[in-house]
Amino acid sequence: MTFVILTGGIDLSVGAVIALSAMLSASLVEHVGWLCIPIVMGVGAALGFAMGYVIHHFEIQPFIATLAGMFLARGLCFVISIDQISIKHPLFAEWPHIPIQLPGDMFVKPTVFVALAVLGLAFWGLHYTRFGRGVYAIGGNAQSALLMGLPVARTKIGAYVVSGTCSALAGILFATYTLSGTGVHAVGMELDAIAAVVIGGTLLTGGSGYVLGTLLGVLLLGSIQTLIRFEGTLSSWWIKIVTGVLLFVFIILQRAISARKSPNG
């Protein structure tokens, strides 16, 4: 989501692609084994490419194009099955849950290292590659980036491919935790992703932000959710309320900072 928002876009299909990826994983793993992972990630990348292509070449607003992608992905879930599909294959049921011991009687699961690897690749790709510099340039001013000779079409579509691929990977990991796939998984999760990116300091207008800032946004939201759940007396709806308040505050702060930096501010 960070890549997409940095280009000045938005991706509302994240939650639906996660659900579709979990459904595909659950339905394919018993037949093709580990090959389901590249297949599912390929589907996510293809959906991202399709949305990015429509947004750029047909000049459709990202909100509309990704909303259509959300309905498409969610609908495909129920084409696969209207019922929940359970996962019993050891690739999902055993390996991801093997504890890896850490000092101090602590442990983590292998999926943590998958998340860290994705974070490292995203940081490198965004801050140390030509593609990443193009993402920032498009978010700053797409017309100027085009005049500078940057591959605007390829870069903008690539940002949505990154989002679709990461959403598919998230769906695979989600399936390892729930050991199931169903069309009602991850409803509203795209809003959590957007909130984490904005709280992490990425401007909704694009052109400014950092992957590590998004990590801080995720950790902040995760800490709030954990505190509310363990507090015990508060309803789970307080998680949504606090997230909404934080998002509103950070958007106001972004607007205030942008107004002070502008020549007429």
Burial of 20 (0-12, 13-18, 19+ CB in 10 A): buried
Residue 192 lies in a domain: no
Residue 157 lies in a domain: yes
Residue 104 lies in a domain: yes
Q: What is the pLDDT of residue 264?
A: 56
Instruction: Provide block-wise average pLDDT over 10 residues at a time, the chain (265 residues).
Output: 96 96 94 92 97 95 96 95 91 85 85 93 95 94 89 95 97 92 90 92 89 93 85 75 85 79 57
Contacts of 166 (CB under 8 A, 6+ apart): 44, 118, 122
Token pair 């709806």: residue: 237
Q: Which domain holds residue 170?
A: 2-186
Q: What is the pTM of this model?
A: 0.92
Distance CA 122, CA 145 (A): 22
Q: What is the pLDDT of residue 262?
A: 59
Residue 244 lies in a domain: no
Q: What is the pLDDT of residue 36?
A: 94
Residue type, 67: L
Residue 246 lies in a domain: no
Tens of pLDDT, residue by residue over 60-81, are 999 999 999 999 999 999 999 9
Q: What is the pLDDT of residue 257?
A: 74
Residue 71 lies in a domain: yes
Residue 41 tokens, joined: 């990630």
Residue 217 lies in a domain: no
Residue 193 lies in a domain: no
Q: What is the pLDDT of residue 48?
A: 97
DSSP 8-class letter at 208: -
Report the relative pairing of strands 180-181 and 85-86 from DSSP bridges. Answer: antiparallel
Half-sphere exposure of 85 (CA within 13 A, CB side): 25
Kindly report the length of the chain.
265
Distance CA 18, CA 73 (A): 9
Q: Between vectors from CA 158 to CA 173 and to CA 20, what angle results, nearest 5°?
A: 35
Q: What is the pLDDT of residue 261?
A: 63
Q: What is the pLDDT of residue 51?
A: 97
Number of structural domains found in the chain: 1
